[in-house]
Amino acid sequence: VLRKLGSAHAKYGVQPEHFPVVGEALLWTLEQQLGPAGVWTADVKNAWVQTWGTIVSVMVPSLKCEANQITAHHGSPEDSAEHVKTLVQESWALVEKDIDLHGVTFFLRFLSTNPALLPLFRFKDAKDLAKSPELKAHASAVMRTVGSAVAGLSDVQRLVPVLQALGGAHAKYGVKVEHFPTVGEALLWTLEQALGASGAWNPAVKAAWVKTWAIVASVMEASLVEETNKIVHAGCVPKEDPATRTLRLLRESWALVEKDIDAHGIKFFMRIFTIAPGALQLFSFKDAKDLEKSPELAAHAGTVMRTVGQAVAGLSDVETLIPVLQKLGGAHAKYGVQPEHFPIV
């Protein structure tokens, strides 16, 4: 409801800087009405301040998104949201070909320009950051999150809640709103290094990324501020919740596996056939003389492992992931797969 309300106000020329004025007027009105009766106490005022902050954090991102779409609609084709999305997604597809390397480049750039922020990370004590396994794993996870956001540009309404959750989640790590511009600078610098030599980084692509990052940052910043206010109000920094910790551990460990995903895929299948040799009959490569060297097994194993990777990446959006897994489960029925096979897998 609030997102829809925020979007609706864009066409009237409402700007984010108008919200503090509205908030002040609302609080003043409440004080005039409730003050004489002694109802307007410090606790009541604080509750309203917190509530207004939450409302603003939801409405402003939708307002900005709608305003950008209106501007794009009345601008040139090069400024359209569809054109921006195409440029961002096509350029990111090139970056993804060596995503782990670019992830490390991104973090080294970010930390070289912001050395004071290194203590925020677990790899802060690494002797050689460029070779730190922890940095590489974290960088890989971050770049894949960027990839998920880029893919999500096709469905902004679904993407916004994901970005809001991501922004809020960073509050407990001490991330501040003022850190976002430096993250954006490091991202753009990394993209230029990755795409510049091939000519894929041009003014149009850069402008598309600048616009996209501005929207992403505005959504995340609002949620970060809201969550930070909650933490300050509670008077303590909460521990990482079990679900967040599980997701982080899965992504970081899978990022290490992905570095040699094809080899691990073959090991995975060889283990299955060691435990349950009868399962081999379900596969097209069942007659291979040397399974470990079978091109068919290698190809199938690679596909399966990348599907696992997609599932791991999709854990941030379970509602989207569940139908994919259901479809995948249904597709295996025609191959004779049974429920009792899953524990072996």
pLDDT (tens digit per residue) in 106-160: 999 999 988 888 988 888 888 999 999 999 999 998 999 898 889 888 887 788 8
> Is the distance from CB of 201 to CB of 195 less than 8 angstroms?
yes
Asked if the model's pLDDT at residue 188 lies above 90, the reply is: yes
Q: How many residues does the chain have?
A: 345
Max mean pLDDT among 71-75, 207-211, 255-259 falls in: 207-211
pLDDT tens, residue by residue, 301-339: 988 998 888 888 877 777 777 877 888 888 888 888 888
Contacts 24+ apart (CB under 8 A), 309-315: 309/254, 309/258, 309/261, 312/250, 312/251, 312/254, 313/144, 313/147, 313/148, 313/251, 314/148, 315/247, 315/250, 315/251
For 283, other C-beta atoms within 10 Å of its C-beta total: 18
Residue 206 is encoded by which pair of tokens? 């850069």
Domain boundaries along the sequence of the chain: 1-74, 78-236, 243-341
Query: Which class in CATH covers the domain with range 1-74?
Result: mainly alpha
| DSSP SS3 for 132 | coil
Q: Exposure string (b/e) for 239-255, b if CB count within 10 Å is 16 or more?
A: eeeeeeeebeeebbebb
**Thinking of the domain 78-236, which architecture would CATH place it in?**
Orthogonal Bundle (1.10)
**Residue of 127, 251, 230, 146 whose CA lies nearest to 191:** 146
Residue 72 has pLDDT above 60, yes or no: no
Domains 1-74 and 243-341 share a fold: yes
What is the distance between the alpha carbons of residues 341 and 345, in angstroms, rounded to a whole number?
7
Average pLDDT over residues 48-70: 81
Residue 78 has pLDDT above 70, yes or no: no
Question: 243-341 maps to which CATH number?
Answer: 1.10.490.10
